[in-house]
Structure 1
Amino acid sequence: MSEHGCDIAIVGGGLSGGLIALALARHRPDLVVRLIEAGPQAGGNHRWSWFASDLSADGEALLKGFRKAHWDAGYDVRFPGRERTLQTPYRSLSSSDFAAALQRDLAPGTVLTGQEVSALAADGVTLRDGSRINARTVIDARGFATTGHLTGGWQVFMGRHVRTPEPHGIDRPVIMDATVDQVAPSGNGGAYRFVYVLPLGAHEVFVEDTYYADSPMLDRSALSGRIDQYLRAHGLEGEILGFETGVLPVITGGDFAGFQRAQAVAGVAVVGARGGFVHPLTSYTLPFAVETALAVAREADLPGELLAARLEALSRRHWSRTAFYRLLGRMLFGAARPQERYRIFARFYGLGAPLIERFYAARSTLADKLRVLSGRPPVPIMRALAALATTPPRLLAPHRKDIS
């Protein structure tokens, strides 16, 4: 058994783990860091997007070195009977560009890929092959785990990157196109469906079919067929350059303390979705991953146990301040009939642009919350009250995550 050490070992090379490693490299280059990833590259196979208004100046600076797609002319949303262009600039980052920047900007030997972890402890990490990486601080960034303590639904999606033979003519993202058929694929129960479109170049477009679904079942064949239909209908057929799939939690409530306890390893800090740093309704993680990375860099001299306690307190604070979005999620899944769920989003996108920006960043003011809940409700009042009085289903991993 070989042993080698470092100051900070980060387990999980996804968005949260990678940004922490980058923040430490920028602000604390004196520290020896190891970013341990089980897959072949950091970041996996994902695309992360966000609004420019989501990030502070320090957050923008942290992401400056990444090759990103930019749309400064805003974005569109489409619903039956309503279309709107909002002026908030939008950004997107692919996992391949994320991984390339980490390899370029981190010290040689920092990123360890293809390394499965068998055990974590406050003083180090044991790899599957029996070797151990000793560390003063260990951070668990391995992603969301279903413990049975949280409740809600799921965001299920499949995306496809296409090169069109002719210029597609789309000049800004379509964040939600809910003019599509609202019937969910077989096995998903009820769902709110929309298509997400990113023009990545004159001949390149990323199209994602997304469902706010009762079930985490991902039917690859059905979603692929629906993407085919959307591409044909909009003249976007072409060469397939890549694809991605995902199943993300939409958290509406539960026992957060129990969720933390179920995953706790004494003295090990927990970050990312595994630590609860997620927008409960949109499943966005990037703004919170950036905030957490900067916080870790500021507190990098703390002993591992103290850093773990500090991040646990931050996650409890995040849970508390995002209660409003969990309430809206309960209304979405419990009060709105599946084929009518789009009405909630259509009404929301009729509100003021600054309110929408603060909503996505999870910084809604009291006035914002009152405005969202006021006026003619998009769901029946009695169904809304019943949803709030009913215990939502627990978030549990499916026996089969997806079907072909």
Structure 2
Amino acid sequence: MHRSPHSPPPSAPSPASPDSRTEIAIVGGGLAGGLIALALRKRHPEMNVMLIEGQDVLGGNHRWSWFDTDLDAAGTELLAPFRKSEWQGYDVHFPAYSRKLPSIYRSLTSEDFDAALRRELSQQSIHTRRDVASLDSSGVTLTNGTRISARTVIDCRGPGPSKHLTGGWQVFMGRLTRTDRPHGVQKPVIMDARVDQHDAYRFVYVLPLGANELFVEDTYYQDDPVLDRSALSGRLDQYHAQHGWHGEILGGETGILPVITGGDFAAFQAENRIQGVGRAGARGGFVHPLTSYTIPFAVETALAIAEDAELPGEQLAALLETQARRHWARTKFYRSLGSILFGAAEPGERYRVFERFYRLDEMLIERFYAGKSRFAEKARVLIGKPPVSVIKALGALAGTGAPLNAHKETIG
């Protein structure tokens, strides 16, 4: 529930002098880096900022989605420049029941993310197709030898595998299709778990982007970080055929995301630390450990950095590390639920955990995704007849989990 199938056309490399100077260098033009650059532009329009990205476009090939209530007024204002899809209400389907919920749901593609940032930021700010060789507290060195000196460096590159974190994996394949006739889907289907589970918690995610345009994603909460493109593509074909959707495939995406259930966060921070360099996004640990949700945390971090942007780089880096530790502590509840999901539920029965969860109050569900569950809501999630063995749940909570240190794709 994140991402985008669009891929904007390649852009020419941004002009840059052999050596340059900036106040803040942001390395990584994904969601976290792009929003930081935008927040800085809005709060400090006079500040010299460079957003450095190795690919042709900003945001990669993703789709991000969120509930209206995930963001406060400042967060909503930060995302105002982006063209978004929006729906009033969404559906969920499980073997035992279906439910309609009235929440406002929004979605943003990386194509629109890139376009808005190029409108909002100065031409001197965006530097795409710039591969980074190294970075340190005083600047960034590109693979072509160019040195960009900076007062503050913020690392927003995606995280690599880590032996210090434990959990399972969220594996997905999405497809954008222009149907040959109106598809008839009026609202998003956030989870359709009425599908064969294939030894994982499997659900299909559907977004109606137009009368003849659908984004459909097949997602698995599974033990092994393996993405079999052939198998998932075939299952998407089958799901489309079952619903009578036929047409032209416009694009797609795949991903393997960690579902974090525990680990040594201090060791994870040390593993990624470059002295004096700030870290944000997933590299800094600012994610929802169970759902891989990112928008609320990326927005919150961007606004916080803009607030303290005039601090010396090393102080800002230390502040971000402290905020990341607080985020880790704040999200312990979700890691515990992830431990139960992977450690206590049989893979083919994991859907029962979410089937029970989606019977709960609408606002409880929204705050859960935003990582803002209240104490009483956490209790409500746990109270009642559990969908897994209590003994197995206690054992899972006491266990260590599998390290998140490898993933692979297979063509099939």
TM-score by length of 1: 0.97
Contact 2:28–2:52, Cα closer than 8 Å, also in 1: yes
Contact 1:151–1:393, Cα closer than 8 Å, also in 2: yes
Q: Counterpart amino acid of 1:148?
A: K
1:70 counterpart (66, 69, 86):
86
Match of 1:223 in 2: 232
Superposed counterparts of 1:369-384, under 5 Å = 369-384=378-393
- Cα distance in 2, alignment partners of residues 144 and 90 from structure 1: 28
Contact 1:46–1:95, Cα closer than 8 Å, also in 2: yes
Match of 1:403 in 2: 411
Q: Counterpart amino acid of 1:103?
A: R
- Cα distance in 2, alignment partners of residues 49 and 144 from structure 1: 21
Match of 2:182 in 1: 167
- Cα distance in 2, alignment partners of residues 123 and 402 from structure 1: 40
Structure 1 residue 350 corresponds to structure 2 residue 359: yes
Q: Secondary structure of the equivalent of 1:171?
A: coil
Deviation for aligned residue 1:2: 2.4
Match of 1:186 in 2: none
Q: Secondary structure of the equivalent of 2:141?
A: strand
Structure 2, unmatched stretches of 5+, are 1-16
Superposed counterparts of 1:195-214, under 5 Å = 195-214=204-223
Structure 1 residue 141 corresponds to structure 2 residue 161: no
Q: Counterpart amino acid of 2:24?
A: I
Deviation for aligned residue 1:23: 0.7
Match of 2:54 in 1: 38
- Cα distance in 2, alignment partners of residues 151 and 175 from structure 1: 26
Deviation for aligned residue 1:402: 3.8
Q: Secondary structure of the equivalent of 2:144?
A: coil
Superposed counterparts of 1:229-248, under 5 Å = 229-248=238-257
Q: How much is the aligned-residue C-alpha RMSD, in angstroms?
A: 1.0
Q: Counterpart amino acid of 1:142?
A: R
Structure 1, unmatched stretches of 5+, are 184-189
Structure 1 residue 338 corresponds to structure 2 residue 353: no
Contact 1:217–1:403, Cα closer than 8 Å, also in 2: no
Q: Counterpart amino acid of 2:37?
A: A
Q: Counterpart amino acid of 1:353?
A: E
- Cα distance in 2, alignment partners of residues 64 and 238 from structure 1: 33
Q: Counterpart amino acid of 2:186?
A: D
Match of 1:86 in 2: 101
- Cα distance in 2, alignment partners of residues 392 and 248 from structure 1: 16
- Cα distance in 1, alignment partners of residues 360 and 403 from structure 2: 31
Q: Secondary structure of the equivalent of 1:149?
A: strand
Contact 2:137–2:276, Cα closer than 8 Å, also in 1: yes
Q: Secondary structure of the equivalent of 1:325?
A: helix
- Cα distance in 1, alignment partners of residues 352 and 245 from structure 2: 27
Q: Counterpart amino acid of 2:377?
A: D
Contact 2:229–2:409, Cα closer than 8 Å, also in 1: no
Deviation for aligned residue 1:403: 3.3
Deviation for aligned residue 1:111: 1.0
Superposed counterparts of 1:115-130, under 5 Å = 115-130=130-145
Q: Secondary structure of the equivalent of 1:148?
A: strand
Q: Secondary structure of the equivalent of 2:163?
A: coil
What is the number of residues matched between the two proteins? 396
Match of 1:107 in 2: 122
Aligned identity (percent) is 63
Match of 1:393 in 2: 402
Structure 1 residue 302 corresponds to structure 2 residue 311: yes
Runs of 4+ in 1 over 2 A off after TM superposition: 400-404
Superposed counterparts of 1:264-343, under 5 Å = 264-343=273-352
Superposed CA deviations along residues 308-328 of structure 1, whole A, max 9, x for unmatched, are 001110000000000000000
